[in-house]
Amino acid sequence: MSRDLTLRSLLSGSALPPSEARLLMSHVLEQRYQLPRSALLSRDEMALSREAIFQWQELQSKRLAGEPIAYLIGKRGFHNIELEVAPGVLIPRPETELLVEIGLREIQRIEQEVVGVQVLDLGTGSGAIALAIAHAAPNVMVRATDQSSEALVIAKGNAQNLGLQSRVQFTQGNWYEALIDKTPFDVILSNPPYIASQDPHLGQGDLRFEPISALTDHGNGLSCIEDIVQGALAHLKPMGLIAVEHGFDQSDPVVSLMKTAGFCDIQIHQDLAGHNRVVSARK
Ligand SMILES: C[S@@+](CC[C@H](N)C(=O)[O-])C[C@H]1O[C@@H](n2cnc3c(N)ncnc32)[C@H](O)[C@@H]1O
């Protein structure tokens, strides 16, 4: 292997889309040389070491085999924070930022009258929703649950990295069973597994590499949402808000679930792509 392969020649010879090649190369530069992303331009004549070239080629092959960029570089930006991610957790999606925004709007409204707003994030994964909320709303207390111990290890690490461990408490278990006391919440947020088990998307793209229990309910896609909606009344304060993310074609059944459970002020929210993505409602 030649030692005088330059950054520029490695990038231009890559079979990856240029944006992906740059992301992976800046990860190599950061890890091997503690260089910032701007070095891709300012140091493009730099010759990489044998080890750095080996790492680059390995990352490149894994990406060409379909592995998600976020797992390869071990991180993903979400809302205003950066999260560590690994194959034990779902890679946070931009559309889930809508759920965070709905939660923050409600927190802002309640904080005009109440101090110490209590928020619950069910199925926290990497901690994305819980930590984005705690980061943006410095006076709230957040409870975050997941049934996956692997996810909770990653989520707790993220809370530590962001200095949010004193305001976000993580517990393990099946939805509300993970809660250790009966204190009601002002806001319940959840992005549960909502892909139907027969959906062909499960065998495509990044989803092939993500934990199956984070993606599907192993049924028609609605059973986790149903459990969460049905349990919410018992865990919300009067007028408390629940907001649940769902698939682009699931808003009608989710609205029906909310109505049947007895919620009021039911609203459908659209993501930036214009898809119905979240249903919110009040107790
Ligand atoms: C779609 S992922 C969402 C992760 C994270 N909230 C996000 O938006 O990036 C769903 C999460 O729900 C968790 N989960 C699945 N079934 C559960 C259950 N019965 N009780 C608690 N958590 C569950 C999974 O482990 C996974 O972390």
Strand partners, 28: none
CB–CB of 231/184 below 8 Å? no
What is the percentage of the chain residues whose pLDDT exceeds 70?
99
Atom of ligand 1 minimally distant from the CA of 121? 6
Name every residue whose Cβ is closer than 8 Å to that of residue 268 and which is 6 or more positions away in sequence.
251, 255, 276, 278, 279
Rounded Cα distance, 204 and 63, in Å? 14
Residues with CB under 6 A from ligand 1: 90, 92, 96, 123-126, 128-129, 145-148, 151, 174-175, 191-193, 213-214, 224
Amino acid 240 reads G
Q: Are 106 and 100 in contact (CB under 8 A)?
A: no
Measured in Å, residue 46 CA sits from the centre of ligand 1 at 43
- pLDDT at position 232 is 98
Q: Provide the 10 A C-beta neighbour count for residue 171.
A: 14
Confidence check: pLDDT of 137 > 70: yes
18-64 pLDDT, tens digit per residue, is: 999 999 999 999 999 999 999 999 999 999 999 999 999 999 999 99
Residue nearest to atom 18 of ligand 1 (CA): 174
pLDDT 10s digits, 231-242: 999 999 999 999
